[in-house]
Every structure is written in structure tokens, then in C-alpha cells.
Structure 1
Amino acid sequence: MEKEKPLIVITGPTAAGKTDFSIKLAKAIGGEIISADSMQVYRELDIGTDKISRDKMDGIPHYLIDVLRPDEYFSVADFVREADKAIREIRSRGKFPLIVGGTGFYIRALLFGLSPVPSADEKVRKKLSKFSTEELYSRLKKIDPEYALKIHSTDRKRIVRALEVYELTGKPLSSFKLPEKPRYDFYGYFLYRNRDELYRRINDRVDSQIERGLIEEAKKLLSYGKDITAFQALGYKEMLPYIEGKVSLEEAVRNLKRRTRQFAKRQFTWFKKEKGFKWINLSEVQEEEVINIIKSDLNKGGAL
């Protein structure tokens, strides 16, 4: 019986070039792509998430892109379930499942499984919805300072989840340890660039997003309300104060560039703790060489 294809995980900081590279890799080895981006799962969030367009997919099937309305809830457990399904489908065709994206929490949950925390509870969420994000974060710092340090103070979705777990169990979320044994055989690659180059690419991306209509896209999302997950995503939450007339466009753009750089730093920090990832600097190594490195790794492991 033929051995099942291992997962190939392509991750790294935002604007490093994961998307373009993953298309080339998929073509080179016979792969299909599963997005590991917590925001690209939503329809109508195209410019702000720098979502790949159909024509740029170049015939490579993509999964977990454009599957939900902006006001629908999507948890890490939902991601693992849907990604597992896509992996089975891709393997059934004899292709390599390529997990591509920068949401470290999703990638870790897929590779190692979820910690045994309780599922969402609507009663608790309703109670928490009465408080501002600032008030909730202040409470989180008292009950779970370890987890509070890991997330941004405006990340309402994760703040609410941590408080919900505490309400249901009496234990801080950080006390629930993740499994250590992988659920899948995988080859992991963290693609990054030198800081100056990465920051230049981030600035160029933001300027391009504004030119392509990020503000108009954010305005359209307002029809779903300001409390949807979309307005926790980079790009939309920075444009909201501008749309409401609270800041100038220049300040909104400056804030978006700064917060995107901060996000990239958090991605570096997250993956420094993850096991099984080979770090490759795209400022110094050509993409063709990276593809050859991956092919060599797969050959050594008997997967190619």
C-alpha cells in the first residue's frame, strides 16, 4: 500500500511572499493548497487580506478561501475539521497537501491537535458582549496574564475565547497544554526576508491596498456591523477610524503599516517556538533553490 503524502507547511511573516511561492511549489511537486489564514476564509475580505485571485491560482486548487460570510463564526476547531477533510481529498488524488499561511495557531492545531478546552458557549458570549474590548482585556490580564501577553489588546475574538474558557472551567486558557505528538507527518518551512526588505514590502503592500480600494471594501463590510470578526483583521480595523472621521487617511495608513510590522514580529516570535520548521531567508536564497531544498527533503524522506 502506497504511503500517504506528508503535509508540506509553508509559513512565515506577512508580505514575505508565501502565496506566490506556494503556487510555484505546487506546480513543481504536484500539490494542492489549503489556506491557513484565519481571515481569507471569509468572502468579501479580498484587498485587506491580500487574497489570491482565481487567475493567479494558475489552475492550482485552493481550499478554505471564500467559504463564509463576513458575519459567520469560524473557530480553530472548524479550521482543523475542514482542513482534515481537504487533506483527505487531496491525498485521494495522489497530490501533496500544501498548508500555506501565517496563522500560527491554526497551523499548530492542525499539526498537533487541539487542547481539551470546552466548545463555545452562547450564554457566556452574550454576557461578555456587554463589555468593551478594553474592559475584557483588563480582566484577562488579571486571570490569565500569560495568555494576555501572547495576544494583542484589541484582539476581541481571542480575548473573549480566553475569558469564556475561564468562565466555563475556572482555569486560565494558558493552563491547557497542547499535545506534543504530531497528527500528521509534515515538512515545515518558515520563509522570511531581511528586516529592511520585509518592511519595504509591507509598506508597498499597504500602499497598493489603498490604491486598489481597501477603504471602499471596509465601508461595504460595515453593512454587517462593526462587531464582526472582519473588523479585528489587519486593514479593516485601521480604516474604521478614518471612515468614522476620527483620524486622517495619512494617520490610518501609518497605523496600518506600523501594526502590520508588529504582526510580522509576532509571527517570528510564534514560530521560533515551533518544532520541525526549517527557516529559509528569501532575501538570500532564490525561490528555485528553495523548491530544490524541499524536493531534496522529500526525496530523503521517501515521499517523492
Structure 2
Amino acid sequence: MTTETKRRVLVLLGPTAVGKTRLSLELAEAYDAEIISGDSMQVYRGMDIGTAKIKPEEMLGIPHHLIDIHDPRDAYSAAEFQEQGTKLIEEISRKGKLPFIVGGTGLYIESLCYGFRFSEAVADEAFRSEQDAYAEAHGAEALHARLAAVDPASAARLHPNDRRRIIRALEIHHQTKVTLSASHAGQKKESPYELCLIGLTMDRKILYKRIEDRIDQMLADGLVAEVEGLLQRGYSRSLVSMQGLGYKEIAAYLAGEMTLDEAVTLLKRDTRRFAKRQLSWFRHMKEIQWIDVDESQNFSENFEKIRAIIAGKFLSGLEYTSEQSN
């Protein structure tokens, strides 16, 4: 596909709590875009507070895709995201609008932007059961250590509680003798799209404070009741969706395994670590143009910097539809 025929795709990424949502709405309005959520948790229906999901009334009439599309009982995968996102990019482009990927799930976003080929290793239920049994007997950290022994790069980006992905990485190595990280590194990094990738970053201390404030607000908004409601509806703690940040910690509190204060402390710690892993993933994506959005910068300045990046990347072929951004 030549450059002239490639679909233009705008991407806004960054760690949790960095401020992607407000900027994404302003940009979507300015460039007549439709937003494709690049978040692995916001696909699940009924999981709203803990995922910091945008409310319908906050969308300003801008179409948002890949939100509330999956039942929490059914695990969602990067391969599904890539397939659905590819179709959406084509559909949105054909309408004369700009496809705009916004989120923080590195594998999802990168796989869509660069057309990753996912491993052909088939499911080995016996192997998976063996790894599950090992984790049950020895703990999540022990299973994570198994992965670290054969694929330290994948282990570094996966949380020890992310059992499904850890087992999948082990399964791929078991079947192919090639690590998941080596497979990712060997992917062809030429995009089928004309990409403009913009990353948001800020001083680590400021980001961590924003993360903690966000979690406090989630609790005030009813996170405990949301998790309790999911459990009452029969969503098991072992589900991939219920292993998400905010859900597994509050579920442990509701099961009497820790106090609420302990659960919140754990959640804040693990979310800070998650943000660090997000940034580590994004740092190896060489085409990202980074904007520092520390609170010392005002919103309009950051917006104008992004406008300049988009104008430089897409040249004059993309019309800026808003006269001014507040």
C-alpha cells in the first residue's frame, strides 16, 4: 500500500491518569474524529468506575468505539481488538472522518497500528491446567518466576496476577521455543497506516499523585459497591476481567482477606507500578512524539503543541475544524 493510499490514523496514548480523556475530546471535535478506545478493561460492560470509563453524557456526541462490548465472563484479547479495530479504521475513514485511537494498553495499540501477527501456537489445555495448578499450589509469584526464567522481558511487563497472559507466554515458548518478547521484537514495524502517534507524559511524582487522587475519587464514586454488585451477579474473582486493577483488590477486601485500607494501599501501589510498565512499553515505540503535560503547563499550550505535531505529520491534507480550543 503506498503512502498516498494509506488511511490516516491519529493515536493518543500514555499512562493511566495522565489526562488523555479531556485532550481526546478536544482533538476529536477539532479534527472530526471518531474515537477507538485502546483500553483492555473498558470493553467490559458493568465495569465503569474501576476502569475510569467515560460516561455517555461526557462524550460530547463524539462516537466512541470498543467500549461496553464484552460480558465480563468472556476474556477479551489483543487479537480480537486488532481485528475489530482494523475494521473500524476502514469504516470511519470511509465516512470521511479521522480514526482516533486513545488509550493506555500498549500491546493492543501497537498491534493495531503495526498489524502484528499473533502467535500461531494453539491452545494446549493440558499445559494450561498444569500451569494453573502450579500457581494454585505455589502462588502467583512462583508462576511469574517461571516466565522470568525463560522470557524476562515479557515477565517485566506482566503483573504477577495476570495469570492468563503469563500462561499464554509460557505456552508460546513451550510450543514454539520462541519467547513472546522475541516474537514481538521480530514484528515488522512498518505500519499499514499513515500514523501520527502522540504520547502524554508528566513528572513521575505528579503522575503518582494524580493516580492516588483518582483512586480516592473512585472509592467516593462507589467502587466498592460496583465490585460487590459484580460478585453478586456471579462474576467470579478468577475471571480475567475481575483480575483488573481495582477489582481484584476490592474483591479481596470483600472476601475478608484484608481491610479496606490495606486494599486501597495495595491498589495505589499496583497502579503506580502499572503506570511505570505502561511507560516502559511505550518508550520502545520509536515514532511517538511526546508532550509533557505537567500541571505547570496550561491546557491550551499543550493543545497547540499537539496541533502543530498533527499539522507536521499529516501536512495540509487534514482540516482543522475548530477555530479555537478552550
- Shorter-chain TM range is over 0.9
Q: Which runs of 4+ in 1 moved over 6 A?
A: none
Find the aligned partners of 2:245 and 2:129 in 1 and give their Cα distance. 25
Find the aligned partners of 1:32 and 1:171 in 2 and give their Cα distance. 38
Find the aligned partners of 2:76 and 2:312 in 1 and give their Cα distance. 34
Residue in 1 aligned with 2:323? Answer: none
Residue in 2 aligned with 1:50? Answer: 52
Three-state SS of the structure 2 residue aligned to 1:247 is: coil
1:286 aligns with 2:299: yes
- CA 1:99–1:145 in 2, change beyond 3 Å: closer, same or farther? same
Letter in 2 for 1:261: R
**Shift of the alpha carbon at 1:83?**
0.3
Residue in 1 aligned with 2:214? Answer: 205
- CA 1:170–1:291 in 2, change beyond 3 Å: closer, same or farther? closer
Residue in 1 aligned with 2:164? Answer: 157
Three-state SS of the structure 2 residue aligned to 1:130 is: helix
**Shift of the alpha carbon at 1:86?**
0.9
**Shift of the alpha carbon at 1:270?**
1.4
Q: 1:262 is matched with which residue: 240, 252, 273?
A: 273
Deviations 1:98-155 (A, max 9, x none): 0000001111111112245125516243443333234422322222233222322222
5+ residue gaps, structure 1: none
Q: 1:271 is matched with which residue: 282, 289, 293?
A: 282
Asked if structure 1 preserves the Cα contact closer than 8 Å seen for 2:6 and 2:192, the reply is: no
Corresponding residue pairs, total: 303
Residue in 2 aligned with 1:104? Answer: 106
1:87-166 to structure 2, matched below 5 A, reads 87-118=89-120, 120-121=122-123, 123=125, 124-132=127-135, 133-166=140-173
Q: 1:241 is matched with which residue: 252, 257, 280?
A: 252
**Shift of the alpha carbon at 1:90?**
0.6
Asked if structure 2 preserves the Cα contact closer than 8 Å seen for 1:70 and 1:221, the reply is: no
The TM-score with structure 2 as length reference comes to 0.87
Residue in 2 aligned with 1:20? Answer: 22
Asked if structure 1 preserves the Cα contact closer than 8 Å seen for 2:37 and 2:101, the reply is: yes
**Shift of the alpha carbon at 1:248?**
1.4
Asked if structure 2 preserves the Cα contact closer than 8 Å seen for 1:115 and 1:179, the reply is: no
Which stretch has the larger CA shift, 54-63 or 104-113? Answer: 104-113
The TM-score with structure 1 as length reference comes to 0.93
Find the aligned partners of 1:120 and 1:236 in 2 and give their Cα distance. 30
Three-state SS of the structure 2 residue aligned to 1:185 is: strand
Find the aligned partners of 1:264 and 1:184 in 2 and give their Cα distance. 27
**Shift of the alpha carbon at 1:294?**
4.1
Find the aligned partners of 2:105 and 2:60 in 1 and give their Cα distance. 24
Residue in 2 aligned with 1:218? Answer: 227
Three-state SS of the structure 1 residue aligned to 2:80 is: helix
Three-state SS of the structure 2 residue aligned to 1:131 is: helix
Over the matched positions of the two proteins, sequence identity in percent amounts to 42
Residue in 2 aligned with 1:296? Answer: 311
Which stretch has the larger CA shift, 157-166 or 280-289? Answer: 280-289
1:74-85 to structure 2, matched below 5 A, reads 74-85=76-87
Find the aligned partners of 2:153 and 2:283 in 1 and give their Cα distance. 17
- CA 1:301–1:285 in 2, change beyond 3 Å: closer, same or farther? farther
Compute the RMSD of aligned alpha carbons. 2.0
**Shift of the alpha carbon at 1:295?**
4.4
Asked if structure 2 preserves the Cα contact closer than 8 Å seen for 1:5 and 1:94, the reply is: no
**Shift of the alpha carbon at 1:3?**
5.2
Deviations 1:244-285 (A, max 9, x none): 112111121111112111111112211111111110012225
5+ residue gaps, structure 2: 320-326
